[in-house]
Copies of this chain bind each other. A is one copy, B any other.
Amino acid sequence: MRLSSFLLPVSKNNPQDAQIVSHRLMIRAGMIYQNTSGIYSYLPLAQRVIQKLDHIIETGLNKIGCQRITMPTIQPASLWIESGRYGDYGKEMLKFEDRHDRPLVYGPTHEEVVTDIARAYIKSYRQLPKILYQIHWKFRDEIRPRFGVMRGREFLMKDAYSFDETEQGARHTYEKMFNAYLDIFKMMGLNVIPLKADPGPIGGDLSHEFHVLADTGESELYYDEAFHELQPQDMTMEKLTQLYAVADDQHDPYQCSIPKERLKSRRGIEVGHIFYFGDKYTKSMNMITVNSKGEPIHPQMGSYGIGVTRLLGAIIESSHDAQGIIWPKEVTPFQVGLINLKEDHKVKADELYHHLLDHHLSCLYDDTDEGIGKKFSTMDLIGLPLQIIIGDRIQENLVEIKIRHTGDRHIMSMTDAVKFVEDFYM
User: CB < 8 Å: which of B30, B69, B72, B91 contacts A43?
Assistant: B69
Complex: chain B residue closest to A30, CB-CB? B121
Q: Is the CB of A98 within 8 A of B102?
A: no
State how many angstroms separate the Cβ of A290 from the closest Cβ of chain B: 16
State how many angstroms separate the Cβ of A133 from the closest Cβ of chain B: 10
Q: Is the CB of A41 within 8 A of B99?
A: no
A402-423 contacts to B, CB under 8 A, are none
Once the chains are docked, how many angstroms separate the CA of A35 from the CA of B130?
A: 20
Q: Does A50 contact B (CB under 8 A)?
A: yes
Contact with B along A85-108 (1 / 0, CB 8 A): 000000110101011001010100
Q: Is the CB of B91 within 8 A of A70?
A: no
Contact with B along A63-79 (1 / 0, CB 8 A): 00101111111111010
Q: Is the CB of B91 within 8 A of A69?
A: no
Q: Does A39 contact B (CB under 8 A)?
A: yes
Complex: chain B residue closest to A128, CB-CB? B5
Q: Does A16 contact B (CB under 8 A)?
A: no
User: CB < 8 Å: which of B67, B102, B143, B154 contacts A72?
Assistant: B154
Chain A: how many interface residues by the 8 Å CB criterion?
53
Q: Does A132 contact B (CB under 8 A)?
A: yes
User: CB < 8 Å: which of B42, B106, B113, B139 contacts A41?
Assistant: B113
Q: Is the CB of A139 within 8 A of B42?
A: no
Q: Does A6 contact B (CB under 8 A)?
A: yes
Q: Is the CB of B47 within 8 A of A106?
A: no
Once the chains are docked, how many angstroms separate the CA of A47 from the CA of B113?
A: 17
Q: Is the CB of B76 within 8 A of A50?
A: no
Once the chains are docked, how many angstroms separate the CA of A154 from the CA of B113?
A: 15
Interface residues of A (CB under 8 A from B): 5-7, 9, 30, 33, 35-37, 39-44, 47, 50-51, 65, 67-76, 78, 91-92, 94, 96, 98-99, 102, 104, 106, 113, 116-117, 120-121, 130, 132, 137, 139, 141, 143, 153-154, 156
Across-interface contacts of A102 in B (CB, < 8 A): 36-37
Once the chains are docked, how many angstroms separate the CA of A326 from the CA of B96?
A: 40
User: CB < 8 Å: which of B30, B44, B116 contacts A68?
Assistant: B44
- Of A7, A92, A116, which is in contact with the most chain B CB atoms at under 10 Å from its CB? A7
Q: Is the CB of B120 within 8 A of A33?
A: yes
Q: Is the CB of A74 within 8 A of B154?
A: yes
Q: Is the CB of A72 within 8 A of B35?
A: yes
Q: Is the CB of A117 within 8 A of B41?
A: yes
Complex: chain B residue closest to A309, CB-CB? B70
Once the chains are docked, how many angstroms separate the CA of A94 from the CA of B106?
A: 12
Q: Is the CB of A67 within 8 A of B154?
A: no
State how many angstroms separate the Cβ of A150 from the closest Cβ of chain B: 16
Once the chains are docked, how many angstroms separate the CA of A9 from the CA of B137?
A: 25
